[in-house]
Amino acid sequence: MSKKRAVIIGATGAAGQNIVEFTAKHPWFEIGCLSASERSHMKTYREATQAAPFFRSMPPEEVMKMKVVGADHVDPRDYDVAFSALPSEVAKVQEAKFAEHIPVISTASAYRYEPDTPVLLPDVNPSHTAMIPLQREKRGWNGYVIPGPNCTTVGLVTTLKPLMDAYGVNILSMVSMQSLSGAGEKGLRADSEYRLNAVKNVIPLIEGEEGKVVKETNKILGSMVNGKLIDAEINVHATCTRVDVEIGHTEAVHLGLKEQASIDDVRDKLNGYKSEAQELELPSAAEQPIIVLEDDMPQPKRHGEYPQMVTLVGRLRGNKLWENGVSYVLTSDNLEKGAGGGAVLSAEYLLVKGLL
């Protein structure tokens, strides 16, 4: 197939740079335009990112030489798809302008909680793409906006999905230990006051994060009934903290299943989980999306030893907090499946399904 031309808006920030990494050599997409704020207009991408480069793998030279274009100078009709890594306060307006003409795959939270908008993880809730026609009709758009989850929610719902399918989940308590890169530029810049405060420290509150986890978990794990999304109604309690880790979120999860299950059965369900994304062999999908480990794993420092886009699970055991209690620890890469990689995976799924 011919490659789809993509415009990346918000390309100079941490999430935007991550999207660039995932699309620079992609077999199905090509970067047609890099867009950002007016202060970066007509700078090369190298110049626009040199003050705060967050690349884990430097994009090809032809990408670094591209001129960055201010968002107001971009005509969406010149492209097939937009990837958005805009700040949420800007995304609400700019993403709508692009969605009038083309699909927008977003890492921002601006549209996550709208009733006509799916929060998409192709290996968790692909059926929620059935909401796209409603969104188009309601808003009069030729395109649409598809946001991904908050990076904290990604690993959690990925591990909950096979357990929901097999046993159901009644109640859940989660404590996150989120990396500095999850805070974006303020967490990554060496001179940031926020980062300096986090060194050898734990910040016990991430403003607004806990509410996002509760809302998104129930929305993503909800069911489509007669074209309408019905939330999962899991009783979720979240505590979200920031820790002195560069990349990779860790979460301690304690839940109560609706049905009794042995820990061996739970382990098999997690390890054996396959979704439509795996069946379709999407380029960015992990062959095994969940890997259960033993001993002192998982650890964010060692998450990169495993395949891209996986969620690692360890410390799997029963708990006596609730009936049919299960506990585990997970790690998920917040700059990979939690940002650029997740957005590109969504675009791959939408393309294969004829929606892009």
Tokens found for residue 275: 């979704």
Task: Name the active-site residue from 26, 33, 240, 249.
Answer: 249
Do 79 and 187 fall into the same domain?
no
Give rounded-to-5 percent helix, strand, coil for the chain.
35, 25, 40
Q: pLDDT tens digits for 106-159?
A: 999 999 999 999 999 999 999 999 999 999 999 999 999 999 999 999 999 999
Alpha-carbon distance of 163 to 253, in angstroms, equals: 13
Does residue 175 share a domain with residue 139?
no
Question: Which helix (H) or strand (E) is 4 found in, with range?
Answer: strand 4-9
Residue 313 and residue 174 share a domain: yes
State yes or no: is 254 an active-site residue.
no
Count how many Cα atoms sit within 13 Å of the Cα of residue 221 in the half-sphere of its side chain: 27
Residues 134 and 8 in one domain: yes
Distance CA 35, CA 48 (A): 10
Beta-carbon contacts of 337 under 8 Å, excluding residues fewer than 6 positions away, are: 154, 155, 158, 309, 311, 345
Question: Do 213 and 345 fall into the same domain?
Answer: no
Question: Would you call 249 a catalytic residue per the annotation?
Answer: yes
Whether residue 224 is found in the same domain as residue 309: yes
The model's pTM is 0.96
pLDDT at 84: 97
What are the residue ranges in the chain where pLDDT is below 50?
Answer: none
pLDDT at residue 26 in the model: 97
Angstrom distance (rounded) from CA 110 to CA 163: 29
Statement to judge: residues 33 and 119 lie in one domain: yes
For residues 322 and 309, give the distance between their C-alpha atoms in angstroms, rounded to a whole number.
31
What CATH number corresponds to the domain at position 19? Answer: 3.40.50.720
- Among 33, 151, 240, 303, the one annotated catalytic: 151
231: alpha, beta or left? (left if phi > 0; alpha if psi -120 to 50):
beta
179 shares a domain with 144: no
Q: What is the DSSP string of 105-163?
A: EESSSTTTT-TT-----TTT-GGGGGGHHHHHHHHT-SS-EEEPPPHHHHHHHHHHHHH
Using DSSP, state whether 204 is helix, strand or coil: coil
* Domain identity same for 162 and 310: yes
Show the domain range for 92: 4-148+340-352
> What is the C-alpha separation between 67 and 58, in angstroms, rounded?
17
**Same domain, yes or no, for 230 and 245?**
yes
Nearest-angstrom CA–CA distance, 312 and 291: 5
Beta bridge partners of 223: 230
Query: Residue 167 sits in a domain of what CATH number?
Result: 3.30.360.10
Q: Rounded to an integer, what distance in angstroms lies between the CA atom of residue 85 and that of residue 62?
A: 21
- Are 173 and 316 contained in the same domain? yes
How many domains, in total, are found in the chain? 2
> Could you read off the pLDDT of 99-110 as tens digits, one per residue?
999 999 999 999
Say how far apart CA 319 and CA 158 lie, in whole Å.
20
Same domain? 176 vs 77: no
